Structure 1
Amino acid sequence: MSTLYEKLQHARSEEDVKDIYIKALGLKSYTKGLIDIRTDEIWFEAKEGGKISSYAMFTQLLHYVQDALNKGEIIPPFLAVIDTEKAALMKTADVLPLLKNKSIKWGKSASQYPKEALDEVSAYIGAYFVSFKISSHEQEFIQAVKQAIQTGEIIRAQITPDNLKQVFDKWVAMIGREIIGVNEEDYALLFFADIMHDGTLSTHEHLPAELLHKNNAPVFSLNGKLYELANKEGYRRFWAIYHKPPHSEYRNYLLERRDSLIPLDERSFKGAFYTPLAVVDAAYNKLTEVLGKNWQKNYIVWDMCCGVGNLEVKHSNPRNLYMSTLDQADIDVMRATKTCAAAYRFQYDYLNDDITDDGKIDYSLTNKIPESLRQAIREGKKILVLMNPPYAEVGTGSDSGNKAGVTKNKFSTTAMDSYGKASSELFMQFIVRIAQEMPTATIAIPKR
């Protein structure tokens, strides 16, 4: 089924553009005339192509609004401009103060506006209209128009689990790429800092990144460094479309889904995979079946690939629970969302930390492993390794799960010589270190 944007690319006239939008918006009662599309709720100015600015189109449309005001006629609560590339929506009430003082010198017709009229209108309306790029935001525009007709308000789109990745991609295009000097792998952290902020306060403490304001402009703080925007227009346009922060019931879940915003090859390399709650339930039921109903009391549990901790959210004995992950940002997210707050949570690079030059394990090299976990390992206590591990092997084809550099970690280069081809797989490197470190441990891996 063709999208609105795809249909607009086949428009050959202004009438085509009008008809395509009328159908997409589901307009029932309308007329076409000097005002391109006229309904009781919205007047539309339409153009074929995308070269004329929204400011110019609104200037033409406001000519008709001014004329209606002069004649005492009814005007609609909303105004919209549309073409094959973009659309914009504005509340009529926001522009009435400009029109009521009658300072604008209009041309003989709406299309023959003088430059002075365009300049005056443009200077005034820039902060009031919401602009949509149809190739990426057609659904948001359609939703905004329908809600405006229904509620009398321009309602911004909510950020939900269903549209998280779509919103993130748009955030990167409109905001992320305007942040000066930031690494692309940090976009997700800055995105969450942005969406979890209401303009005054953050919804969570201790997020890895923070949204601040400097001279009334947004700036981002990450790892002790401030990042400013090269251009603020994309930021203004993005947040004119979306509402923030997300509804409270979604916030923690959205933060837990940071994995879905990481490129697939990097997710495979780091093991950054979200485990759905249905899988967690099934895993815990199977563990109870195999290990007995008191397994959470009887076993020390270590997940050395915990990510943001959703595999452990069902655990009822946090004193026996140890959770480590490659990225400190994951630990920060868990602290912010209070995930498994009573467990031992720490950053740890399982294939590089505490590995000696001859492939042995020496916890004193980093002192990251909690003493209570070291003691449990020394004493041979019942240990359950519960993890959703990384899967990647030597190679360069990201589509197949291959990743250059898989064998360039300390454990692989010092302890995997006798394992042949198995040494090229991250998963096996984890298994071999676990076997060396905790030879009596039980390993549980949820099936993907």
Structure 2
Amino acid sequence: MKYRKIREEELKNKVGADWFKQFDTTEIIGNIDFSVLPQQDSLFGRTPLLWAEAKTGNFDISAMFVQLILTIGKARTFDKTLPPAFLGVFDFKKIAFVDYVNIQDIFFLNDFNWNVAPSNHNTKEFQLIKERIESILKVKTYIFDYEKDQKELKIFIKNNIAKATTKSKIKIDKNNFIPIYLRWLEVVKPIINVNWEELSDANIFDSDFYLADLFVDDKGTQTIDDDSSIRESLFVVFHNQGYKIAKENINRMFDATIDIKHKETYQHFWKLYKRPPIKEFQDYIIQRRDLLAPQDIRERKGAFFTPRIWVELSQKYLTDYLGEDWQDEYYIWDCAAGTGNLLAGLTNKYNIYASTLDQADINVMHERIDHGANLLKNHVFQFDFLNDNFSKLPQSLQAIINDPKKREKLVIYINPPYAEADNRIGEGRKGVANSEIHKKYSANMGYTKREMYIQFLTRVYFEIPQVVLANFSTLKNLQA
């Protein structure tokens, strides 16, 4: 046998030198035993060609692949770096390869416990993975004996591993859409032919263009000629190998069209990923668009996602305080709604109102309504709570606010923005304190007028008196 009676580290060194000498096999990626990368960086960095599990002795191929999959899944290595085109396993006698795309779905199993020791072959998780992949491995695995298949192995490496950078597309899910965004900022954003400062004045940011790119049907091809948007309600949509912004989103007479300066660069970037994202994660990505906004912008706009567990707890407290039938007996207005997740779980859509600063968030909520969210479109509207006059509110909500008896049954249910005006760098903090409410009630608020949430609460106190204030917030609100 070619590599009999040597230690694992020596085995990895010899396999690297004997079969992959034209590549870089020195880089250690997480807990993966053996990695193969190209020697030279490309425009997008070095994409791994192969991740492999190494064993001394004569091991079962399926068991080695299961251990490799558990190692990758436990560390979610594919979220930290681009996954390779191939996975592999080898021992002292043989080496085997399988296309990454043939097994990548295994990493998205629901309710699977990845926190087991990959080397423990007796766990139920190990057996479950083995059962799932054995049928795939039987028909999709390339197996070579070092001595008997020497020529074939060299040809396979030359024709497949060496050309593997364009072999597979990475699926997009809730775990990797942010790392992909960070790469997108470096590669794609600079080639979008637009004045970013002007767009930011209209509350349009690079993340809107990224979402436009994500929600594209790539038709399974490597080119962008046939790419088309699957979400026309987004603030920015991919259109005709560029972008389109609806005229109503920028207060103009015509839609804005934006070009991509270097389509080849754009195409090279997106051919690495399968678009659109996996269907079951699409709504999550839209709802968590707040994660794509810079910290200072998020603070200014209040673009923070309220975790579901706290949403449920806050609604339990409301039930305890207002009674079991409170949703039928009270009106509810979230005046800092974002994409509306604080309202998830409420049942009487006829009594619920939601407003937010960004039209993009309104578009998201309207699309969620189209897909079953329990809200009414005419109760979901764009409204700048710190600047707009109440005359802009829907007539039905104005009627509630203007009627003292109905107003007592209005619950202002909010997780307000908490940015504070200061001299720190960041567009989001610039002008935070400058609002109509700041001007109007400056003397009443004193020093705390610097806080956005204080301005929210002040307007509620003076202009919507006798309402029920359900202020879901950080402890900072209570300590002010």
TM-score range, shorter chain: 0.5 to 0.7
**Equivalent in 117, 136, 146 of residue 87 of structure 2:** 146
**1:201 to partner: Cα distance:** 4.0
2:345 to 295, 299, 314: 314
Q: Give, as a single letter, the amino acid of the residue that structure 2 aligns with 1:156.
A: K
Q: Which residue of 2 aligns with 1:369?
A: 393
Could you tell me how far apart the structure 1 residues matched to 2:48 and 2:264 are?
Answer: 17
TM-score normalized by the length of structure 1: 0.66
Q: Per-residue displacement from partner, 1:395-424 (whole Å, max 9, x unpaired)?
A: 12369x993422211121123223211222
CA contact (8 A) 2:231 2:237 kept: no
The counterpart of 1:219, out of the listed 242, 245, 259, is 242
1:286 deviates by: 1.3
Q: Partner of 2:301 in structure 1?
A: 270
Provide the C-alpha distance between the structure 2 equivalents of 1:267 and 1:208, rounded to a whole number of angstroms: 17
Using the size of structure 2 for normalisation, the TM-score is 0.62
Letter in 2 for 1:351: L
Q: CA deviation at 1:142?
A: 4.1
**Is 1:391 equivalent to 2:348 in the alignment?**
no
Q: Does 1:408 align with 2:443?
A: no
Instruction: Check the 8 A contact 2:49/2:86 in 1, yes or no.
Output: no
Post-superposition Cα deviations, 1:58-110, rounded to whole Å, max 9, x if no partner, equal xxxxxxxxxxxxxxxxxxxxx9733477435789xxxxxxxxxxxxxxxxxxx
Is the 8 Å Cα contact of residues 393 and 424 (structure 1) preserved in structure 2? yes
Residue 358 (structure 2) aligns with? 327
CA shift for structure 1 position 29: 8.4
**Superposition deviation, residue 45 in structure 1:** 3.9
8 Å CA contact 1:204–1:337 kept in 2: the answer is: no
State whether structure 2 residue 15 is matched by structure 1 residue 30.
yes
Q: Within 2, Cα distance between the matches of 1:289 and 1:170? A: 47
**Percent of counterpart pairs with the same letter?**
28
Task: Kindly indicate whether the alpha-carbon contact (under 8 Å) linking 1:182 and 1:227 is maintained by their aligned counterparts in 2.
Answer: no
Residue pair 2:327, 2:348 contacting (<8 A) in 1 also: yes
In 2, the alpha carbon distance for the partners of 1:150 and 1:47 equals 18
Separation of aligned partners in 2, 1:208 and 1:36: 48
Listed as ranges, the matches of 1:29-428 within 5 Å are: 30=15, 32-33=17-18, 36-37=20-21, 44-46=22-24, 81-83=38-40, 86-87=45-46, 139-146=80-87, 149-151=97-99, 154-183=167-196, 185-199=204-218, 200-213=227-240, 218-223=241-246, 224-338=255-369, 339-342=373-376, 344-354=379-389, 363-364=390-391, 368-380=392-404, 381=406, 382-397=409-424, 403-428=429-454
Over 3 Å counting, the alpha-carbon distance change for 1:192 and 1:346 in structure 2 is same
Aligned-partner Cα distance in 2 for 1:284–1:260: 24
Alignment length, in residue pairs?
329
Q: Alignment partner of 2:469: what SS?
A: strand
Paired letter, 1:255: I
Q: 1:31 to 1:260 in 2, by over 3 A?
A: closer
Cα separation, partners in 2 of 1:142 and 1:272, compared to 1, 3 Å: closer
Distance 2:13 2:327 in 1: 61
Q: Which secondary structure state, in structure 2, belongs to the residue aligned with residue 324 of structure 1?
A: strand
Worse-matched range after superposition: 154-163 or 429-438: 154-163
Which residue of 1 is the match for residue 33 of structure 2? Answer: none
Once the two structures are TM-superposed, the CA of residue 341 in structure 1 deviates from its matched residue by 4.0
CA distance 1:434–1:151, change in 2 (3 Å):
same
CA RMSD of aligned residues (A): 3.3
